[in-house]
Amino acid sequence: MKKRNVFSQLLIIIAILFVVNLISNQLFFRLDFTADKQYTLSDATRNILHELDDVITITAYYSEDLPPQLVKSRKDFVDLLVEYENRSDGSVVYEFINPSRNEEAEMEAQQAGISPIMVNVRERDQVKQMRAYMGAVLQMGEKKEVIPVMQPGTGMEYSLTTSIKKLAVEDKPKIAFLQGHGEPPLNASVQLLEQLNVLYDPEPYTITDTAGIPVFYKTIAIIDPKDTIPESHFRKLDQYLAQGGGIYLAFSNLQGNLNQAYLAAGPDIGLKSWLLEKGVTVNDLYVIDANCGSVTVRQQQGPFMMNSQIQFPYFPIISNFSDHPAGQGLESVFFPFISSISYSPPDSAVNISPVAFTSENSGVVSPPAYVDINKDWTENDFRESEQVVVVALEGPLSGSGHAKMVIIPNGQFAVNGEGQQQQSVNEDNINLASNAIDWISDDTGLINLRTKGITNRPLEQLEEAEKSLYKYGNVIIPILFVLVLGFIRKQRYNAKKQRWIQGNI
């Protein structure tokens, strides 16, 4: 009888496990306690998956014998694909292929556009290198997108969702990059184009005297013009705004030359007076901020010349953003030689919103001025309050229509450069430009996803008195804690000893 009961209970347990397994396959979920919600799909991803009207096949070419530091990456990718499949109601299907199993599978991966990467593996106190595959190919009908290397962390969701978005979008709206006034060519903004290509079709555009600006352009991007803009071109831009268009404007009205250690005001190319009509004043003042980047300076140290990193307040690091969509999710934007912005809406129907501010320890410097790299900066240099450095405008900016603008008084903050002079740009600089264009173009779907993840956590700026309090507190408090604990234990020991003596009298 007892054996039958044990056997019955075992069958019940097996049945329960089987049912739970079936339910878990249908109701996949994860608890996410990370600060950046790394394991929670963003609203943008969910919306894109729900709107799919065709099946997307994801073929993941992933090695199975990965070193320990990459095993978690593979597991996270598997979990992510399971959630994509469930959230899309079967519109996303996937399979895993191990290219390392044989030459045929490896050739298939390489022909699909997935190249191996070399990773370090430690075996018996020796470091060796192995070939590993960590990519995926997405296909919908005849269209295909390749992710050569799946980046760990939040980069996985962004890579997958943007690739799916590229496949799902039939006709991408156009973004015009204005040319003809000394602006850098389109290929000088490689990182920005890489993000914009997900949703838009960017192309160069030159204003002509015979035709107006086409209204099919979602946004006109005016980036770092250096030559005078004719009045006729401003009229064309106003006509475009009156038809409900949008303009992204990033230009430098200051000319800081670090090599010559000289700060000057830039030439007037007509933009400042045009913006003044819209209620925005770009000030001829250099912003300085205690929260700043650094410059490399060669200094004499004894008989040697050494490179030293020196904090340079003319290179503010902006980490203070409003809740405007253009500044959403940003953590750290680098703005070398930027000026402040003042604004006063000319019409109650026009809304001007600040997007980014300097820190509370800020100041301004009027040009012309010389720069002392080795200056000993003090609190007296930063007596100004927060300075507005990015604004967004919305409303009838040209008397009629509902237009949008974002104004940033720095033309080079998101430009990589031309030819051999190209340099990588801070990620959040690109995110700010992309967010602004998304907001102007009425497509904010990928803003949350683009800026998802923790990229920078700067330390909070403290006063000297607070710094001293924390510094001495960290030394004194542990000592006091140990002394108090020792005193309490000594008292308890004496009391216990006294009771023992009294019990033995």
451-492 confidence digits (pLDDT tens): 665 555 555 555 667 777 777 788 888 888 888 888 888 888
CATH code of the domain in which 83 resides: 3.40.30.10
Residue 455 lies in a domain: no
232 in a domain, yes or no? Answer: yes
The verdict on residue 68 lying in a domain is yes
Same domain membership, residue 246 and residue 191: yes
Q: Cα separation of 97 and 94, whole Å? A: 10
Give me the domain span that covers residue 392: 171-450
Whose tokens are 């939040």? That residue is 154
Q: How far apart are CA 196 and CA 437, in angstroms?
A: 9
Residues 98 and 247 in one domain: no
Last residue of a domain, one of 141, 167, 193: 167
- Number of structural domains (the chain) is 4
- Residue, of 95 and 4, whose pLDDT is higher: 95
Does 63 lie in the same domain as 9? no
Angle in degrees, CA 406, 411, 412, rounded to 5: 130
Q: Same structural domain for residues 335 and 235?
A: yes
Same domain? 207 vs 323: yes
Average pLDDT for 405-426 = 90
245 — pLDDT class (breaks 50, 70, 90)? very high
Q: Minimum mean pLDDT among 125-139, 318-332, 341-355: which range?
A: 125-139
Q: What is the rounded end-to-end Cα distance, in angstroms, of the chain?
A: 63
The position carrying tokens 């991803």 is: 45
Residue 460 lies in a domain: no
Tell me which residue has tokens 């934007």.
333
Whether the pLDDT of residue 178 is over 70: the answer is yes
Residues 313 and 378 in one domain: yes
| DSSP states along 410-469 | -SSTT---SGGG-----HHHHHHHHHHHHHHTT--TTHHHHT-S----PPPP--HHHHHH
pLDDT at 495 (0 to 100): 83
Is residue 310 domain-shared with residue 428, that is, in the same domain?
A: yes
Q: Give 27 or 269, the one with higher predicted confidence.
A: 269
Domain end among 404, 426, 450: 450
Same domain, yes or no: 440 and 417 = yes
Mean of the pLDDT values across residues 434-439? 94
User: In this structure, is residue 244 part of a structural domain?
Assistant: yes
Provide the whole-model pTM: 0.77
Residues 163 and 253 in one domain: no
Spatial distance between the Cα atoms of 368 and 370, rounded to a whole number of angstroms: 7
Domain CATH code at residue 262? 3.40.50
Question: What rounded mean pLDDT belongs to the chain?
Answer: 85
- Would you place residue 45 in the very low, low, confident or very high pLDDT band (cuts 50, 70, 90)? confident
- pLDDT band at 444; cut points 50, 70, 90: low
Domain boundary among 114, 140, 167: 167
Q: Judge if 478 and 434 occupy the same domain.
A: no
Type of residue found at 158: Y
Report yes or no: 430 and 414 within 8 Å, Cβ to Cβ. yes
Considering the domain architecture, whether residues 21 and 65 belong to the same structural domain is answered as no
Establish whether the linkage from the previous residue to 152 is cis, with ω within 30° of 0: no
Mean pLDDT value of segment 16-35: 63
Are 267 and 328 found together in one domain? yes
456: in domain: no
Does residue 403 sit within a domain?
yes
Burial profile 476-495: b = 16 or more Cβ within 10 angstroms, e = fewer: eeeeeeeeeeeeeeeeeeee
